[in-house]
Structure formats: C-alpha cells, structure tokens
Structure 1
Amino acid sequence: MAVQERPSVVAGPERRAQLSLFARNFFKHPRMLGSIIPSSSFLIRRLLEPVDWERARVIVEYGPGVGTITHEILSRLHPDATLVVIEMNEDFVDYLNRSMTDPRLEVIAGSAENIETELERLGLPAADYVVAGLPFSTMPADCRERILQQSQKALAPEGSMLIYQFSPKVSSDLHQTFSRVESTFEPINIPPARVYFCHK
C-alpha cells in the first residue's frame, strides 16, 4: 500500500524556537550553515521530488539543523523505513533528540565522512538516498572529496544523493564522483539554490 504524502507542519512557539536556534547558530558558525533561515517549502519539495517513498527503506540526511527537511522526510517515509540524520552541531543534536520522537529516526552526533561506519553500527543496509545541504563550497577540498566519496560508496546500487547548494563550486566534484548528475534550480528560497540529483 502506498504511503500518502501529508504535510508536516511545525507552527507557533515551536516554529519560533526553531528559527531562533537556527539564527543563533548561523551567527556562530556561518560557514557551516550557509543561510540565516531554514530551507523553504519550495526547495524541500524540489529536493525530495525524485524519492521513491514506497521503495526507500534507508535514507540518510546530513546536517539536519533544526529538522526542517527531516520533518518532511518523516511525513512521507514508509512505516518500515529508517531515517538516519548526521549532525555535528551539538545544539542541533540536542534539539532533534528533544523535539522528535519518531521511532523511525536515528540521530547521530558526528561527521558525514563516517556514513558507512554509522550504517554498519546501526545494522542497516546501504542507503537508498542521501540528502545533503552541507555547504560544500566552504569546506576544505579534501574534506569535501571524502564526504562525497564515502556517500557514493554507502549508496545502494540504484541509490542517489540529493544535494542543494548556494554555490556551483561543488559541481565538478559531483561529476567526478557519480556516474550521472542532473541539476535544477529553485529560485524561491533565501538564497536561491541549485539542486543536484547524483546517481551512483
């Protein structure tokens, strides 16, 4: 039976708390976040467009922040699937653990470079999708390359990495790492974003 898509709305005081936490961390770590506000619903919809929700059983998200995209993934995720989110920022890890109680969610405090190790530790198979909004353009080149290479290795044979970026700098790295890369653009976001669908 197909899983129905339904909106996952975070409103009122909880939404204000999200925005406040996100903004505070942007000013502390601007190179890690890239934007002062979370992703727009338009960008999230475009980013998740290729996902086959009926088929996907393991999805990994890098840098979930306050969980804006995480909420939307969980609202569509199959009942038997798992969402693994990997976050380095301790404030965000604490927030996600306190605010999200979905049993399909695994919150990992750590680096995206360790995706294979984390999936193995959790007893999970290769990922069907990796979703990432990490600011690859501001990372050291060796770190960026390691994350992309480890992500490619951690994907199932038909898996894809779905990425949004505010700079086209990562494009050449994506084409070197993945067999096929498609791109599109989402103007209704602050700032506007380039979206990449990278196939293993």
Structure 2
Amino acid sequence: MGLTNACNVDDEKEIAEMNLKRTIGLFAALVLLSACAGKSIDAIPVSDFNSQRYLGKWYEIARLDHSFERGLSNVTASYAKRSDGQIKVVNRGFDDEADRFKQATGRAKFADDPSSGKLRVSFFGPFFGDYIIFGLSDDYRHAYVSGGNDKYLWLLSRSRSVPPSVRRDFIKRANALGYDTGALIWVDQSRTE
C-alpha cells in the first residue's frame, strides 16, 4: 500500500515536470514565432471586394523572399470557391534545384466583411496568416497583397507580366507602407507547361 502511494507521488511529480517543460517549450515557440513575424504593416484592404471576380489563376510577378517559396520560379496562385463558403488556395511553383513543380494547398476565409479584401489564409491546419489585398485594379487584372507585416508582400497578375506603370505603382505604394522594395524578387514566369 505504501509503495503504491509512493509511485503515485513520483508519477505526479513527473507529470508536473513534463507539463512545465511543455509550457516553457510552447512559450519559447510563441516568442520565436512572434520574433519571426516581422514588423507590423498597416495595409488597408480594398473595399467593395468581389471574391467571385478574384477567383481563378494569378501569376506571381514579385515577392519578398521567404522560406515557403525560396528558389521557386513560375509561381502561380489559384483560388476556387469551396462548398463551406471558404476559398481553396493552390500555390504552385517550379523548383529549379529539384527540376520539378511543387504545390501547396490551403484555404482562405474572410477576416471580416466579405466585401473587404482582407482574408486569413492557412496551409498548416489551424494556423492562419493575414492576406490583405491593398491594391486591386478595377478589371481584377493586378493585385497588391500584404501579409500584414514587413516579411510578406506580393504583386499578382492575371498574365505573366505587368506594364511598367503597374510595377512603378506597386513599388510606390509598398514603399509608402514601409516595405523594403529593393529586396523584391521579380519572378521568372518564362516556363510554360
């Protein structure tokens, strides 16, 4: 009887230690993630957003470098309506080193009002990131997208290239928000499938 109680006390101590280690580990991970998030960018989403018109294929013209797309060319993003009202997101790009296309599938949901160009996108289960459309041409041919911080920025187009005037406007507006546009990667879109 005394041995059973001693074992229970030891088990409880071990469980308490494991829980403390998990809590410390989780806190450290959260601190690390917030440090990697970058400086907040106050991008104002477009209003009168029409998600139906936004659906379809977009070519990535420019981006800031980040691990998810590092080394990829010929990057596209395709959006389609899901039965639950969210949006299916398929990002695809050619990995020159592996000599093949890579693809990631995720989902997007509206952050607020569906008429606002602010969405939340996830490729990793319950973890969502900002997707703020802060510039959109009237004909839905060009989109300027912020990730809500100074690490994530994209210029998207319905075609493989954009006119110089769109590039200049994108750089001007992104600079005004605080982005380092000198670090932009202008994506090679020369590969046809």
User: 1 or 2, which has the higher helix percentage?
Assistant: 1
Q: Please, what TM-score do these two structures have when normalized by structure 2?
A: 0.32
User: 1 or 2, which has the higher strand percentage?
Assistant: 2
Q: Please, what TM-score do these two structures have when normalized by structure 1?
A: 0.31
Higher relative contact order (CA 8 A, sep 6+): 2
